[in-house]
A = this chain, B = another copy of it.
């Protein structure tokens, strides 16, 4: 045995580039959080669910703008919805991403 506690027999200081899939997931995750409109939407719905129209009203955005961005977030599984009649109530669906957002808001506000 050596003093190298790594799983593989690689040099401790060797650099490993990120594989394509990881890179894609990471960049998509941050891309979702890089737009002001999506940030505001997530910040709104992170505490309770809202319908599309409610989101549009609270944030003073067009219905289609909200719908497009919700589709974006839905594709990444960052939000989910619950149907009640013709109304769709959206809420967040990824604790990790909400944590990233909250951390960063916190950090931005206190620095």
A35 surroundings in chain B (CB, below 8 A): 27
CA–CA, A109 and B103, complex, Å: 21
Are A108 and B22 in contact, CB atoms less than 8 angstroms apart?
Answer: yes
How many copies are assembled?
Answer: 2
A26 at the interface (CB under 8 A from B): yes
A30 at the interface (CB under 8 A from B): yes
Are A30 and B27 in contact, CB atoms less than 8 angstroms apart?
Answer: no
Are A17 and B59 in contact, CB atoms less than 8 angstroms apart?
Answer: yes
A44 at the interface (CB under 8 A from B): yes
Are B34 and A31 in contact, CB atoms less than 8 angstroms apart?
Answer: yes
**Given A25-B108, A96-B107, A100-B100, CB of A43 within 8 Å of CB of B30:** no
